[in-house]
Structure 1
């Protein structure tokens, strides 16, 4: 395939035939099925052919892994019992057999939304045009759609032979920093031990999730700093546990945080 508007393909078409109407079709060696070809014109060439594809199927796979024993996690004001771990895999398949993947909300409502509403909306559309799709719906449904959109963009990127980053604005950097993230609702000692283990693996920062109450959370931060030393970054993902003016987590609590921690 040649020309400035051609989409990437690792192999040339091995045959072209005329179908009914203005659409051309070609048998492509790198695809299990035919892919539609459409003519485009430029000043350089009388005809430039580029591949197109359509979304054929959108699937949501709700996965669940029961724990051998219930996991009890005490937090400030209660206790959480975890019986299983859930996840969702979204797969979007094109009419040429290519597939894109993405993670999704791990609950049955999202599975129904994808199968009953989002899939019919997307099927038959060109994934390369994902920016132009105007999906209707209230906020919760929109959140589920955005998860599916990740798989659509992944499909478009695979078709182009390019990283997803190239389709969403281009690469901004060649390297990124990674940090270790904690479990939930652990004791100060457990957080400190995990922070030390993460630092020993070579990570330069560690993120914890507070939920044991103001005093325990401040103790946790102090113990983590003692465990990892001054050169490892500490981050706090408060996720709605802390708010200014709250009776339990006040601005006084936040002011007691070590200066080198990042809330």
Structure 2
């Protein structure tokens, strides 16, 4: 509880300092005050919540679903075969060394301004933590326990579902919590570079109008979405990993 008090106090101090600094600087198109951002968010709540937020959420949901399939599948395959691990693991690492901001325009060129250019950016950002964390979790499975289960007549399928997966779940959820927050960034980057709707698109449009509060308002909403998704995954993690808290 004390940690939350300290973090809340720090956030409040930052916001107060920001508010005072913005009022002194008095150039809202560059540095809007937090109160101006909240007022703008309330003013634009209709268009942001009904038009642009659903477009961004759709990108995030599709991107995360694809990342779960690709990341989970790759992790399982690499855990089963050293050849696949040596083949795909360096490629997975290399994919994260390429600046996403440089690839996003290429995806727009390939897929146009459709939803798929933004989905690909989101997938490229989010599949990595899911793949690596799940793979590490599967690889940490107790070898002595595996041998014991083999001697007791367990099949590979039994070992996978009753030992490997339970062992990998904590690592999987750790990667998923990182991925859901990164999905916000991926969707925003994709929309920023080319879209017809979405919070990232709206923020960029407000920038061309020199509306500082209008730029920050959708960003604040994106942050709220990211935190909400993180808490949602955390609640699912606590449900499936009840044994860890006993």
State if a TM-score over 0.5 links the two structures. Answer: no
Indicate the structure with greater strand content: 1
The structure with higher relative contact order (CA 8 Å, sep 6+) is 2
Larger Rg: 1
With structure 2 as the length reference, what TM-score do the two structures score?
0.23
Indicate the structure with greater helix content: 2
With structure 1 as the length reference, what TM-score do the two structures score?
0.22
